[in-house]
Every structure is written in C-alpha cells, then in structure tokens.
Amino acid sequence: MKTRREFLFTTGKAAMALGLSQSVASAFANNTKATQQATAQFAQKPLPYHLDALQVAIDAQTMDIHYNKHAAAYCKNLNEAYAAEVGTKQKSLEDILKKITKYSEKMRNNAGGHFNHEMFWQCLTPATTDIPEKLSQKITEQFGSIDNFKTQFTDAAKNRFGSGWTWLIQTNDGALQIISTPNQDNPLMNISKQKGKPILCLDVWEHAYYLRYQNKRADYITNFWKIVNWNFVATQLS
C-alpha cells in the first residue's frame, strides 16, 4: 500500500505528465489530499516497535502480514463501511461499537477488526516489565494470584473455538473479568454477552500465529506472556 507521501508524489507526477504546470500539479495533489482526509475516517497508528522486535514470541513475517495486510484491510473496509453507513456525520469508533446492531455485518467485522488490532499492538512490547503494583494487586484480588490469572486467561484463549479474541475487561462495577469473543467482536459491542472496558487482549486467529506455530496455539499463548506491555495494560484500568 502506498504511503500518503508516495501517493501525492505519484499523483503530482501524473498531473505533470498530462502537461499540467507544476503549480497546477501541486494544487491537484493538495486537492487529492483534502479529499483523502475527508473520506478516510480511520487510520492505523504506526507500530510502536519494529516488525522483528517481538521475535521471542512472534516472527517478523507474521507481524508484517498481520499488520500490513490483515489489519490494514480491516481499516480500509471500516472506512468504506463508514462512508456508506455514517457518511458525513461524525461518530467515534466507540460510538459505533456500542450500537453495532444498527449497522451492517461489514461494519461489525471491520469496526471490531480495526479496534481490536489497534489495541493488540499496544498490548505488546519487546521490553516487558513487572506488572505495575496497582494492576498486580487488582489481579491478585480478583483471581487469587498472577499465576491463576494467567492460567485462566490461557485456558480461555486455548478454548476459543475457531477465530476470535481473549480479553481481560473491567466491568461497570469495577471488577476484572476474563472473556472471549468470536470473530472480530469485542466487549464494547452491544451484542457482546459480557461487556466492559478492554484492559488486555490476545488475537487467537490462525493468521496471528500459524506461520510459526501451525496448530500449536498453546505455544503461541505461552510465548505471548513474554511480550505483554504491562505498563500499557495498567493504563487501561479505570
């Protein structure tokens, strides 16, 4: 996929090739830029680490395909669904997710897909740390120990049938809960059986691990714990 800079460059060059002057070519490029900004509502944030930085758990090729192809496609398709179903009104992604039953299947899959992946990248880091005290206490209070929490989360991830996600969420009453959602659904959606604020998530679609782990999802989950960005996860707590 072309970056905006490359896109503008080629657009400008194309205009010049058509015999337009430099200033017309540049105005054409600027106009295209404005149109792009008006239509592309959502964009992927740059990854906060290199593609090969998480190799202890996830290889560079998987990260490349996952971020640059799968997640990019969710974002592109979300923008299409938004243009078709929301149009010029302004709605946040969270607003859409909370009323997802008002929208199409395409919106459900791609609004979820974009939100979930953007959160997932933030949950990972090449430099994992101890769990910050406040979060560690809260997890221990709720699950008995950090190890129990990890075991329960791991089981939920292993037992997710087919494609989906595993989540640690904070419910309205402040409690922590481990849940799992199918496909690209998430706990912000009104159709989710268990709702709450996402604190930590794990993608268990085969595209997230199959190149390296094949059918061994359990090994992928074991290694996931080596790259959790606990500092980010702790900031998600209310």
> Among residue numbers 63 through 102, which ones bind Mn ion (CB under 5 A)?
none
Indicate whether 224 belongs to the interface with Mn ion (CB under 5 A).
Answer: no
* Contact yes or no for 79/39 (Cβ under 8 A): yes
Q: What is the closest distance, in whole angstroms, from the C-beta atom of residue 209 to Mn ion in the complex?
A: 10
Nearest residue to Mn ion, using CB? 203
Written as one string, the DSSP assignment of 199-212 is EEEEE-SGGGTHHH
Residue 94 Cβ vs Mn ion, minimum distance, rounded to whole Å: 20
Q: Are 115 and 123 in contact (CB under 8 A)?
A: no
**Closest CB 229 distance from Mn ion, rounded Å:** 17
Q: Cβ 117 to Mn ion, closest distance in Å?
A: 6
- Contact call for residue 203 and Mn ion (CB under 5 A): yes
185 in contact with Mn ion (CB under 5 A): no
Q: What tokens does 83 get?
A: 């243009």
Q: Nearest distance from residue 54's CB to Mn ion, in Å?
A: 14
Among 23, 24, 28, CA closest to 11: 28
The residues, any chain, with a CB within 8 Å of residue 79's CB and separated by 6 or more, are: 39, 40, 41, 42
The residue range among 10-18, 91-99, 181-189, 204-212 that interacts with Mn ion, by the rule CB under 5 A, is: 204-212
Query: Across the chain, which distance is largest between two alpha carbons, in Å?
Result: 72
Looking at this protein, which amino acid is placed at residue 199? I
Please, which residue, 82 or 205, has the CB nearer to Mn ion? 205
Task: Decide: helix, strand or coil at residue 125.
Answer: coil
- Total site size for Mn ion, rule CB under 5 A: 3
Query: Could you tell me the smallest distance in angstroms from the CB atom of residue 84 to Mn ion?
Result: 23
CB 176 within 8 A of CB 139: yes
32-40, 139-147, 202-210, 217-225 -> range binding Mn ion (CB under 5 A): 202-210
Cβ 91 to Mn ion shortest distance, Å: 24
Stretch touching Mn ion by CB under 5 A, among 163-171, 206-214, 217-225, 230-238: 206-214
Contact assessment for residue 143 and residue 154, using Cβ atoms and an 8 Å cutoff: no
Tell me whether residue 78 or residue 208 sits nearer to Mn ion (CB atom).
Answer: 208
Nearest Cα neighbor of 182 from 170, 198, 193 is: 193
Q: Is 148 helix (H, G, I), strand (E, B) or coil?
A: helix
Q: For residues 227 and 126, is the Cβ–Cβ distance under 8 A?
A: yes
| Contact status: 209 vs Mn ion (CB under 5 A) | no
Q: Which is nearer to Mn ion, 153 or 209 (CB)?
A: 209
Residue 58 vs 234, nearer CB to Mn ion: 58
228/142 Cα distance (integer angstroms): 19
Positions touching Mn ion (CB under 5 A) are 203, 205, 208
